[in-house]
Amino acid sequence: MTSKTSVEINFKEMEMVILGTEYAGEMKKGIFTVMFYLMPVNHNVLTLHSSANQGVEKKDVTLFFGLSGTGKTTLSADPNRLLIGDDEHCWSDNGVFNIEGGCYAKCLGLSGEKEPEIFNAIKFGSVLENVIYDETTRVVDYDDAAITENTRCAYPIDYIPSAKIPCFADSHPKNIVLLTCDARGVLPPVSKLTNAQVMYHFISGYTSKMAGTEEGVTEPEATFSACFGQPFLALHPMKYAQMLSDKMTEHKANAWLLNTGWTGASVSKGGKRCPLKYTRAILDAIHDGSLANAEFETFPVFGLQIPKAVGSVPPEILNPLKTQTDLEGFNKEVRGLAELFSENFKGYSSEATAEVIAAGPTL
């Protein structure tokens, strides 16, 4: 055992035993692992660690892939779109459906100003986990991490005013968004991806572990998690990546890499996290179709296509190269991250095609 916590699943008996944890999320993640096996193997349905929403008028579906702390819950709770779900979905021949009946949102630093949909969903009938509150007034202090950084709230999905009930869309995704929180400040806020790049970055699953997402993590650190959900995978990551690629090709979906982390410089060098208002403006441009028709330039080493302009987003933050005072130091950071990508992908290269391998960074 490498941990005091144990989550064991018996697929033959369909039983799960959880020991040694005060994190209720292990229950939902255990069931998620079961779905990562049953749906692809028995039904040829792709299981996704993603959030999903749908346009009110155009009925266009967007999938958001990402690890904890990258913005799946926050970005999918869009007042201008219908929420299908915030974490666990399946993509079948008939559309996209939510595995769950609610949401499980992080609460650390939560406020009505920053995330009104989630803040207002916390009411009678929701369940707060590991938070500190005043026992007289019953007012919660969402900034208090005395018990854990990983404070949570579970609430029914219909507590989100824009939730789509039932949580199913009979149309196929038009946009695939891979979310990363890059604490190194290397990756651009948004990049357009080719099909091969989607497979590469999907298998890589790069982000930075953020405070409040895992036990013992109080500062951001780089990590890779295949398919943005490695602990839940029951099959080889290439199986899920190929299914995703096939569905994207069949339904002509656009794909994007969104960095919700730091821009221009790393967190240790005083960089600033990309403001949520700019990330939402980028998503608005994705949803209205204008970003797909933008003029792009190439970000070196990673070969990413960066738009030169996106609505109200300041042009200077779109390309990290253009805000550097120490270009040599920044290029060193870029190469350092590229090396981490390449080293991580060695574990999957034997199952990947030459095209997918070539879609990674060039050193």
Summarised one tens digit per residue, pLDDT across range 110-149 is 999 988 889 999 999 999 999 999 999 999 999 999 999 9
Is residue 233, in this structure, part of any structural domain at all? yes
Q: Are residues 125 and 179 in the same domain?
A: no
> How does residue 1 score in pLDDT terms, banded at 50, 70 and 90?
low
Summarised one tens digit per residue, pLDDT across range 16-65 is 999 999 889 999 999 999 999 999 999 999 999 999 999 999 999 999 99
Q: Are residues 185 and 155 in the same domain?
A: no
Q: Are residues 110 and 94 in the same domain?
A: no
Is residue 223, in this structure, part of any structural domain at all? yes
Residue 360 has pLDDT above 90, yes or no: yes
- pTM of the predicted protein model: 0.89
Q: Are residues 116 and 209 in the same domain?
A: no
Structure tokens at 305: 């296509």
Residue 144 belongs to domain spanning: 105-159
Is residue 44, in this structure, part of any structural domain at all? no
Q: Are residues 213 and 66 in the same domain?
A: yes
pLDDT score at 219: 56
Q: Are residues 117 and 72 in the same domain?
A: no
Q: Are residues 304 and 337 in the same domain?
A: yes
90: domain CATH number is: 3.90.228.20
